[in-house]
A and B are shown apart, each in its own frame.
Chain A
C-alpha cells in the first residue's frame, strides 16, 4: 500500500531542544514538502525538495532544517532557534510534473 508515513503523531519539545519529525514515502515521488498548520491560518511552506540532495527554503524556514539523502525520506528538524514551534506539521509529496499532492497524517508538536 503506497503512501506517506509521518512519525511520531505527537511530539513534545523541551526548551532548548532540537527535535526531528520523520517523513517517509513509498510513492516514488521526486518532490517532498513540509508545511506548518496553525489554527485559523492556511498551510505555510517550510521547506521543499524536488530532488535528492537538494532542497529550498519556503516562506517560514527560519528555525528549521531538513535533509534529503534518500528519495523516500525528508526529515524535518525543529531547532531551538524556532521560538514558537507549537503547531501541526504536515509532510506532502508529489510527482514534479504532476499537480496532485499526497499528504501524511501529520505530527502535532507541543512545547513542554
Chain B
C-alpha cells in the first residue's frame, strides 16, 4: 500500500481549462509538497503546505489535514504547464519523505 495516492494518473486538457489533481495520504505529516517534473527530468518544488491554501500565479494548492487530502489546481491552463505533478509528504515521525506516483498532465493548444 502506498502512503501517498494521486489521481488521476494521466490527464489531458484543452488550453484554458481548469485542472484539478488530487492527493490522499495515510501517514501523519509535518508538511505536504507539490512538485513539478518536466520531460528533462529535473524536479522543482511548487508548494509546501501544512494547512490551508497557497496561491502562486495560476496555481493554487489546498490541504485538509483532517481528511488527509490535498488538491492542486491550475487555472487557465497552458501548454507550458504540461509536466508530471508529484505529491509528496514528510512524515512527522522521522526524516522520511513519501512520494506519489505522479500525474502526467498534457495541455493541448
Identify the A interface with B (CB < 8 A): 31, 33, 35, 40-45, 48, 50, 88, 90, 92, 96, 99-106, 108
Contact = CB atoms under 8 A, between A and B. Distances in A.
Q: How large is the interface on B (under 10, 10 to 19, 20 to 34, 35 or more residues)?
A: 20 to 34
Given A42-B100, A42-B102, A99 B43 contact: no
Contacts of A50: 95
Contacts, number: 55
A99 B101 contact: no
Interface of B: 2, 4, 30-31, 33, 35, 40-45, 48, 50, 86, 88, 90, 95-102
Contacts of A99: 30-31, 33, 48, 50, 90
Given A42-B100, A100-B45, A103-B42, A48 B95 contact: yes
Contact of B99 (A40, A42, A108): A42
Contacts of A44: 99
